[in-house]
Amino acid sequence: MAVAATIQAYLESHDVQYQVIEHPRTDNVKQAAVVAHIPPEQLARPVLLGDDVNYLLAVIPANHRLDLDRLNQVMARSLEMVDGEELELTFGDCEKGAIPPIGEAYGVDTVLDASLSHQASIYFEAGDHQHLVHMPGDDFRRLMEHVPRVQVSHHL
């Protein structure tokens, strides 16, 4: 698949420079960082959450753990992890567990962990378990300019 059609169209419509990096198939984003030889703090890992209002995509570094209590406090919400079936419906052109962190492309509100705001490069899953998108940190921040930046995770 390489890059999910929704993400490819979104990146092209925002005139973002990016590369697609192929790597051996992995089961999760942490393994992808290892096999692709990239720093896990530069790999953006999305976590889909939901409540009775709507979904929220929390984007954190691959080597961090989401602090759900802090996120709920900051956002004044009662978010919980979303199950796989809802993921598939929302991110229909992506393989399960390989969603990109650009929620806006899918109409999903997003919050960006502040620790991703300082990286020179950002990587993220392209929609499958064999490809990563790589772009300059400045371009990623431009894509996420309307997204709240909050410290909602901590290092593992």
Select from 44, 13, 34 the least CA-distant residue to 115: 44
Over residues 27-58, the pLDDT tens digits come to 888 899 999 999 999 999 999 999 988 999 99
| pLDDT, mean of residues 131-136 | 97
Q: How many domains does the chain have?
A: 1
* CATH assignment of the domain containing 77: 3.90.960.10
Over residues 57-114, the pLDDT tens digits come to 999 999 999 999 999 999 999 999 987 777 778 899 999 889 999 999 999 999 999 9
Q: What are phi and psi of 30, to 5 degrees?
A: -65, -40
Q: What is the pTM of this model?
A: 0.95
Q: How far is CA 85 from CA 16, 48, 70, 101, 117, in A?
A: 31, 12, 26, 18, 31
Domain limits for position 97: 5-155
Q: What pLDDT does 102 receive?
A: 96
